[in-house]
Amino acid sequence: MHIPDGFIDIPTSVAFAGIATAGMALSLKGAKSALDEKTAPLAGLTATFIFAVQMLNFPVAAGTSGHLLGGALAAILVGPWVASLALTVVLVMQALLFADGGLTALGLSVFNMSLIGVWVGYGIFILVKKILPKNKSSISIAAFLGGLISVPFAAAGFVLQYAIGGTGTFSISQVLTAMIGTHILIGIGEGVISALAVGAVMASRSDLVYGYKGASQVLETRVKE
């Protein structure tokens, strides 16, 4: 879902670059409280792992592939603020080094993947976790649904950008239908990878999972009160 230069006009790209920058400024603030001696290297590893897995396109339908976006996964592992920054580092690396995703379109991609992908993924994860019984397998199910649902929402971000500043003259509803349909399929892959990765970390070092730790910390503070 890396947007090349040219799909979206320059004024819209600049406007979204502004929103993306503001989002990253907030994330820098929010991330500080989540980053300590122990979690900073883990956050770096999360970005690194997402870069690697984003290279692994999987087939979804005739002549179409998809790859992990990683927003939900990162948010569950290291918290949403740090996750937004991690995703943005990945997107900047891909655009600068590998010519993947346009430079003027970077703000558009950051908005869709680092902001929408992360926050929708994390929101769904928290919601599902609340509904399900409090155990480790619920974390994996919540990770699956968070990953699944984050992808069509990120795709909808692109449709919004296309509706505002698309350089083509195609009908928005046509773009919307095609983008959402394709990205629900990709979302299934996203959900599976997110659940497997979160499950693997839960099995070896559940104390490192922000989305799992978060629950017990909230409980602790409640007890203290």
Are 75 and 211 in contact by the 8 Å Cβ rule? The answer is yes
Segment holding 9, helix H or strand E: none
Q: How far is CA 22 from CA 10, 25, 35, 111, 131, in A?
A: 18, 5, 20, 10, 32
Would you list the DSSP string of 113-171? IIIIIHHHHHHHHHHHHHHS-SSHHHHHHHHHHHHHHHHHHHHHHHHHHHHHHBSS---
**Rounded to an integer, what distance in angstroms lies between the CA atom of residue 138 and that of residue 110?**
29
Backbone angles phi and psi of 23, in degrees to 5: -60, -40
Residue 43 or 142: the one with the smaller Cβ distance to another protein is: 43
Kindly tell me which of 81 and 128 has the beta carbon lying closer to another protein.
81
CB of 161 vs another protein, minimal distance in Å: 11
- Distance of closest approach, residue 130 Cβ to another protein, in angstroms: 28
Closest to another protein by CB, 146 or 165: 165
Residue 110 C-beta: closest distance to another protein, Å: 15
Smallest separation, CB 143 to another protein (Å): 17
Q: Which is nearer to another protein, 203 or 219 (CB)?
A: 203
Q: Closer CB to another protein, residue 47 or residue 128?
A: 47
DSSP letter for each residue of 158-206: HHHHHHHHBSS---HHHHHHHHHHHHHHHHHHHHHHHHHHHHHHHHHHG
Nearer to another protein, 65 or 216 (CB): 65
